[in-house]
Amino acid sequence: GGELSTHLERMKRFSEDVAAFYVAELMLAVQQLHQHGILHRDLKPENMLLTEDGHLKLVDFGISKFGVTEATRGAKTLCGSYEYLAPEILTGEEYGTATDWWA
């Protein structure tokens, strides 16, 4: 259990198989959010928890935006963790679900 970032810091790097597993779980989770019109807006390893059986769970939906269904439209607020922000957020453009994929 715990934050994905803690495991990554401890191990320095994941094996290709472990990384592929976490990426697949993250992609499925983000896809599910977007299908329900939810833009997370703060995807980062600190907001990804591992369950006791090693599955990934997204947390911290405090700045999420609901009702966003388009890749490039639906949000305009500058928010999120700076290191993970997509260029369109930094330049003040309207953005959508594509920015979660950038993170």
CATH code of the domain containing 89: 1.10.510.10
Question: Which pTM was predicted?
Answer: 0.92
Q: For the chain, how many structural domains are there in total?
A: 1
Active-site residue set: 42
Pairwise CA distance, residues 25 & 72, whole Å: 23
Q: Tens digit of pLDDT for each residue in 14-33?
A: 999 999 999 999 999 999 99
DSSP assignment of the chain:
-EEHHHHHHHHSS--HHHHHHHHHHHHHHHHHHHHTTEE----SGGGEEEPTTS-EEE---TT-EES--SSS-SB----S-GGG--HHHHTT--B-THHHHH-
Which residue range forms the structural domain that includes residue 66?
2-102
Q: How confident is the model at residue 2 (pLDDT cuts 50, 70, 90)?
A: very high
First and final C-alpha spacing in the chain: 22
- Angle among Cα 94, 31, 23 to the nearest 5 degrees reads 110
Predicted pLDDT at 56: 97
Q: What's the token pair of residue 75?
A: 């949000």
